[in-house]
């Protein structure tokens, strides 16, 4: 397998659940030209992050790379961290509900639900109520107000 510097010289290791997932990863790696966007998309997908979260992360860094610091800062202000079932990633607060539902469908494990889902806003870590869609919707409204984003 080819070796690539995907994290700016920082060493990291990926472990795969089985050979099929490893082969899928190798195929994707061999088919990209290694722009930061492509690398971030492949890694986000292989790490099991929701598609909307991957898009948000990629767009946020595109704004910074382009020198659009105002756009980057606006996205930073809408950024929350989501932690569930071994996944830890950033999300636009406006995509919270969709990303949570995606995670619960993708990782329907009782043990993960018992461990809980959390969001991180700045230094604050808050447990997410995942009992039903109404709780998730109400919590989404709460965090939208918490970070100062008015729902559309």
pLDDT band (50, 70, 90) for residue 151? low
pLDDT at 8 over 80: no
The full set of domain ranges for the chain reads: 1-47, 52-146
DSSP 102-146: HHHHH---HHHHHH-EEEEETTEEEEEP-SSHHHHHHHHHHHHHH
pLDDT band (50, 70, 90) for residue 5? low
**pLDDT tens, position by position, 69-87:** 999 999 999 999 999 998 9
Task: Supply the mean pLDDT for the chain.
Answer: 89
> How much is the pLDDT for 17?
81
Contacts of 90 (CB under 8 A, 6+ apart): 53, 56, 57, 60, 79, 80, 81, 82
Element of type H or E holding 90: strand 87-92
How many CB atoms sit inside 10 A of residue 141's CB?
Answer: 12
**pLDDT tens, position by position, 101-138:** 999 999 999 999 999 999 999 899 999 999 899 999 99
When pLDDT is averaged across residues 57-72 and rounded to a whole number, the result is 94
How many CB atoms sit inside 10 A of residue 19's CB?
Answer: 8
When pLDDT is averaged across residues 96-104 and rounded to a whole number, the result is 97
């Amino acid at each position: 397998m080819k070796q690539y510097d995907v994290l700016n010289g920082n060493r990291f290791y990926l472990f795969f659940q089985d050979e099929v997932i490893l082969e899928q990863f190798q195929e994707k790696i061999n088919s990209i030209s290694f722009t930061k966007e492509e690398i971030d998309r492949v890694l986000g997908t292989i790490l099991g992050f929701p598609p909307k979260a991957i898009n948000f992360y990629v767009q946020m860094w595109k704004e910074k790379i382009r020198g659009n610091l105002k756009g980057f800062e606006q996205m930073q202000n809408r950024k929350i961290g989501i932690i569930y079932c071994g996944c830890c990633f950033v999300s636009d607060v406006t995509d919270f509900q969709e990303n949570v539902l995606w995670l619960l469908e993708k990782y329907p494990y009782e043990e993960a639900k018992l461990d809980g889902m959390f969001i991180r806003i700045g230094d604050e870590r808050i447990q997410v109520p995942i009992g039903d869609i109404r709780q998730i919707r109400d919590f989404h409204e709460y965090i939208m107000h918490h970070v100062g984003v008015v729902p559309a």
